Structure formats: C-alpha cells, structure tokens
C-alpha cells in the first residue's frame, strides 16, 4: 500500500536510481541505519523500518509546517524575501550586534556545527547547544571523575543487565530496546532470556510495560535519586546494613536484589536521561552516579559497569565533539578577540541576565522549551531563526532562514548517542533549492566582514 504522505512531487530528483535505498534515520539520537526506502520511478513510495517518530521526520518533507522561503518580520507579519536580501539582512543584524548568542545546533550536521562555531569565533559571540541543559553536564563531571562508557554493540553483545535510570526510552528513543534488550549478541546464544532490565523512576512510564518477571521495577520518591545513589556508594564500599524501611521509597527486599545484581552481574549498562541532570539538594545526582560507577568497578569481582547518556536530538553528541576539537570546551563557549575565553556563563544565564543583543537560533525551539521568563527575554531582542519547520520560536523570530532536512535532502555527519560517527545520506533534492544548514552557515560566514 502506498502511503500518500511519502509521495514526493514527480520531478523530484533522486540521487540514486536504485529501487531500494538503505539509509539512516535522523529522527532521534539512535540514528537507526537499517531504514529502507522503496521508490517508484522518482517518487518515494514506502519507508520501511522506522518507528512513528522516524516517520514524522520523513513526513516533514511535505508537512504544512515546513518553511519553504526566507521570511522577514515587518509590522508583526512575515513577508517572503529572496535569498540575497535574506543573507544581507542576516549579516546586517550580526554586524549591528556587539553581544550575539548562538543556540541550538543539536539537530544539524557536524559540518554545520563547525561553521556555526566559526561564525561565533568571527563575531566574538557566545555559542551553546541544547546539550548544556542535557547531557553536556555528564562530560563536565566525567572530565573530573572519569567515566566508563560503552557502545550499542557492547550492550548488544555483552550486557546481562540494562538499567534505565530516570529515562523513558520507549517514548524518547522508540527502537532502542528492540536493538539492545531483545537482540542476541555475538557472544551469547540467548538474548532477552538472559538480559535483566531494571527501571528506576519516580512513576510508571511506558518503559515499565517492557518489564518481565525476572526484571526489577523501582519507583523512588521524587528528588531522591541522590539519596539512593549515596546509599549504594556506602553499601558497596563497606558492610553496611540495609535499613528495615528501605531507602528512598524502595523496600528492603528490592534493595537487596538491586545490590546483588550490581555486585554480581557481568556487564551492567546504565542508561540515564535528564532526570539526573538537575541538582537535588546541595548535590548533583549525575556526579554521584559517576562516583558510584567508579566504586562499583573497583569492588566488583567480575565484569564492569558502564554509563550511557540518552539525549534526544539526533546530533547533540556531535556538537560536543566538534566544539571540543575546535575550542577545547564541549559547551557554553565565549569568544573574545577570536579566542575561546574562560566563562561560567551558559545560555540560560545569558538569557536570564539579558546579556545579549541578538540571538541566532539554529534547529531548535527555545521559545516553547524554556521557562516563560527566559522565553520572554529571548523574544525581547532581535532574533535570526535557522530551521526547516515552524515552531513557537518561528512565531517571534525577526528573520527566518529555511534549511534542507539532513539525512533526507542533504548529507552530513552525525554522532550517535554512543559517540559513534555515522554518515547521513542525501536521498532527494530539497524544495525550492533550499540549502543545507552547513552551506547556509558557510555562506553567512563568507559574507561577514
């Protein structure tokens, strides 16, 4: 059956003329590389293998929500402009600014991220990615404490225990568990049968539905992750008595099981999300989790424990790598005189303190995601939006520059959630000769004085 949503205009040019094309989905950070596109003549007829979230990404090609032309806001309404005027206007806005900030950059290719960093350097701006309020903090703690990481292949082939701590992967990364929990690895003749799943969360998420009889569901009290981690740190170091009333809402029996699994399983993979990012009391649960992993790896008799941060945006990890390579910092980079300088600022403090006079937002929607007071500050200053779809931020941006969809209409490099680089292909031409994020940012860079 042909899904009309995936039919592309007859004159669309395909890069490759075969009937089936194997591609990578850029719908989320899992970057599934087993997606098949079936085409008929020059039309995309069917897309096989994506989850609903991935299908949404392909629907974006012909969505009503798609931005197809450069737009400028005049008297509170948007007017179409041509690309020459749009680029001149972007450069004029940048040249008029003395405190520009660039933000987003997790839904674009590594090539585009590099060009954005070059722009920030050239205009002595401040640049930050979505990672600053997400997984970037893990790397900051890891640089002091250390981290044991793993790839998806490690989890598939070696893990006997998978722990989801404060992350609902069934909804955020829909195909993750089908790859790592229900698959058979190279070194075992069994798959799900020997893999135990432990979920730690404050309420029953959709991921709890995957739990089997041998698995462990741990509902903890809100903001008690740090207390549980501290308890486990103490227990693993010394013979510590488990309190009769349990800890953090988890009863004694479940705690005993958890501790036994942590100390006796061979290869434990802990996957965690934003729930552990925000401070709890005076401490940081993510920092303490890294410390717990270090202790476990010291005291465990067999195997090892590893950590993977589960971010949503398809190339959030890419920004960490590109920024580190280019500036020595993975996030929150302030340039002065063309050099990265020491700063404690983040995009949040910059916007909170109104310490900016222009924002360049790339591939994200901070107006919808940030708290109202911060969104209000952001909307009070001139804004350039670079994106391929309409959003809350689109409704207030002064200049809007549309881009092609990477992995469908243009190629590029991205880093999967386990830090493995994956090449994204171009399958069809973008509408209206829209440029890729990388090319658009390169053009702006070339035009800057």
Q: Contact residues for ligand SF4 (CB under 6 A)? A: 25, 27-28, 30-32, 50-51, 53-54, 173-175
Taking each helix axis from N to C end, the angle separating 252-264 and 285-299, rounded to the nearest 10 degrees, works out to 60
> Nearest approach, Cβ of 32 to ligand SF4 (angstroms)?
3
Nearer to ligand SF4, 284 or 416 (CB): 416
Nearer to ligand SF4, 38 or 91 (CB): 38
Q: What are phi and psi of 201, to 5 degrees?
A: -160, 170
Task: Please say whether the beta carbons of 357 and 381 come within 8 A.
Answer: yes
35-40/20-23 β-pairing: antiparallel
> Nearest approach, Cβ of 361 to ligand SF4 (angstroms)?
23
> Nearest approach, Cβ of 38 to ligand SF4 (angstroms)?
16
Nearer to ligand SF4, 28 or 351 (CB): 28
CA gap 308, 176 in Å, rounded = 12
Alpha helices in 127-224 (DSSP H): 136-145, 152-158, 169-172, 176-180
Strand ranges (DSSP E) for 196-258? 196-201, 216-219
3-state secondary structure of 344: coil
Nearer to ligand SF4, 50 or 306 (CB): 50
> Nearest approach, Cβ of 431 to ligand SF4 (angstroms)?
22
Task: Please say whether the beta carbons of 329 and 43 come within 8 A.
Answer: no
**Residue least distant from ligand SF4 (Cβ):** 27
Q: Identify how many contiguous H helices and E strands the chain contains and give both numbers.
A: 15, 19
Nearer to ligand SF4, 55 or 390 (CB): 55
- Residue 314's Cβ-count burial label (10 Å; 0-12, 13-18, 19+) is buried
> Nearest approach, Cβ of 56 to ligand SF4 (angstroms)?
8
> Nearest approach, Cβ of 422 to ligand SF4 (angstroms)?
10
Nearer to ligand SF4, 173 or 383 (CB): 173
Nearer to ligand SF4, 28 or 152 (CB): 28
Alpha carbon of residue 293 to chain centroid:
23
> Nearest approach, Cβ of 314 to ligand SF4 (angstroms)?
7
């Amino acid at each position: 059956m042909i899904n009309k949503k995936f039919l592309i205009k007859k004159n669309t040019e395909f890069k490759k003329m075969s009937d089936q094309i194997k591609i990578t989905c850029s719908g989320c950070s899992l970057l599934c590389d087993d997606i098949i596109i079936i085409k008929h003549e020059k039309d995309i007829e069917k897309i096989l293998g994506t989850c609903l979230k991935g299908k949404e990404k392909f629907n974006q090609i012909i969505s009503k929500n798609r931005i197809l032309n450069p737009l400028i806001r005049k008297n509170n309404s948007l007017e179409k402009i041509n690309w020459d005027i749009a680029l001149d206007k972007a450069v004029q806005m940048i040249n008029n600014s003395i405190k520009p900030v660039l933000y987003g950059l997790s839904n674009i290719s590594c090539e585009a991220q590099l060009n954005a960093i070059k722009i920030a350097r050239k205009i002595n701006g401040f640049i930050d990615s979505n990672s600053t309020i997400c997984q970037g903090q893990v790397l900051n703690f890891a640089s002091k404490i250390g981290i044991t990481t793993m790839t998806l292949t490690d989890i598939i082939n070696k893990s006997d225990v998978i722990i989801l701590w404060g992350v609902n992967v069934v909804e955020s990364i829909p195909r993750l568990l089908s790859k790592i929990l229900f698959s058979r690895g190279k070194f075992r003749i069994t798959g799900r049968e020997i893999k135990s799943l432990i979920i730690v969360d404050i309420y029953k998420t959709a991921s709890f539905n995957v739990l089997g009889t041998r698995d462990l569901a741990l509902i903890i009290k809100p903001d008690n992750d740090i207390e549980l981690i501290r308890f486990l740190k103490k227990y693993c170091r010394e013979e510590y008595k488990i309190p009769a009333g349990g800890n953090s809402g988890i009863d004694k029996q479940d705690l005993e099981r958890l501790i036994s699994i942590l100390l006796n399983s061979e290869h434990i993979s802990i996957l965690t999300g934003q729930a552990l990012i925000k401070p709890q009391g005076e401490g940081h649960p993510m920092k303490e989790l890294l410390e717990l992993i270090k202790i476990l790896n010291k005291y465990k008799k067999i195997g090892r424990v590893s950590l993977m941060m589960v971010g949503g945006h398809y190339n959030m990890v890419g920004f960490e790598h590109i920024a580190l390579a280019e500036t020595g910092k993975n996030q929150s980079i302030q340039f002065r005189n063309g050099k990265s300088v020491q700063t404690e600022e983040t995009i949040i403090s910059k916007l909170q303190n109104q310490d900016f006079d222009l924002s360049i937002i790339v591939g994200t929607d901070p107006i919808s995601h940030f708290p109202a007071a911060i969104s209000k500050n952001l909307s009070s200053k001139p804004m350039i939006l670079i994106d391929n779809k309409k959003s809350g931020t689109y409704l207030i941006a002064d200049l809007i520059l549309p881009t092609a969809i990477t992995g469908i209409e243009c190629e590029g490099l991205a880093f999967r959630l386990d830090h493995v680089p994956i090449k994204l292909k171009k399958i069809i031409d973008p509408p209206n000769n829209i440029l890729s994020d990388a090319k658009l940012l390169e053009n702006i860079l070339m035009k800057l004085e």
